[in-house]
């Protein structure tokens, strides 16, 4: 299993970013996927998930601002992040939901105030 996240960066509060995660080594279309994040000194948390059939769910802290989507033809899951806040600063990871033991390197999102 390999998970490769991309799209992070430095953005001002109120800005937007789109993250992507390319997965290999799994039957992607059959798996629910999630985006997780870990801020310094905090535990990793699930912020958005999408089932194999496309149903989505969001943590209260990001609902209405983040949108998760998937492209099964490309084995890729996306996270569109709008109206970013400084408290969204974290390393973002994708994984199956529930998560497996294998994690990618993550992509760092830094939101400045």
DSSP string, 23-87: EESS-GGGS-EEEEEE-TTS--EEEEEE-TT--EEE-TTTTTTEEEEEETTTTEEEEEE-S--GG
- Residue 13 is given by DSSP the state T
Burial 48-59 (b: 16+ CB within 10 A, else e): bbbeeeeeeebe
Q: Which pLDDT value is given to residue 21?
A: 98
Q: Which pLDDT value is given to residue 107?
A: 98
Q: What length does the chain have?
A: 113
Q: Which pLDDT value is given to residue 24?
A: 93
Q: Which pLDDT value is given to residue 52?
A: 95
Element (H, E) at 110: strand 107-112
Dist CA 76 CA 62 (whole Å): 21
What are the 10-residue block averages of pLDDT along the chain, 113 residues in total? Answer: 97 98 93 97 97 97 98 97 98 95 96 97
Tokens read off for 45: 């948390």
């Amino acid at each position: 299993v390999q998970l490769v996240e991309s799209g992070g960066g430095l953005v001002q509060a109120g800005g937007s970013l789109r993250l992507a995660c390319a997965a290999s080594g799994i039957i992607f279309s059959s798996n629910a996927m999630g985006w997780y994040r870990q801020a310094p000194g905090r535990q990793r948390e699930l912020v958005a998930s999408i089932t194999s059939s496309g149903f989505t769910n969001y943590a209260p802290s990001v609902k209405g601002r983040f949108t998760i989507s998937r492209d099964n033809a490309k084995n890729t899951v996306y996270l569109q992040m709008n109206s970013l806040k400084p408290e969204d600063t974290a390393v973002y990871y994708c994984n199956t939901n529930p998560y497996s033991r294998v994690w990618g390197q993550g992509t760092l999102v830094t939101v400045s105030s």
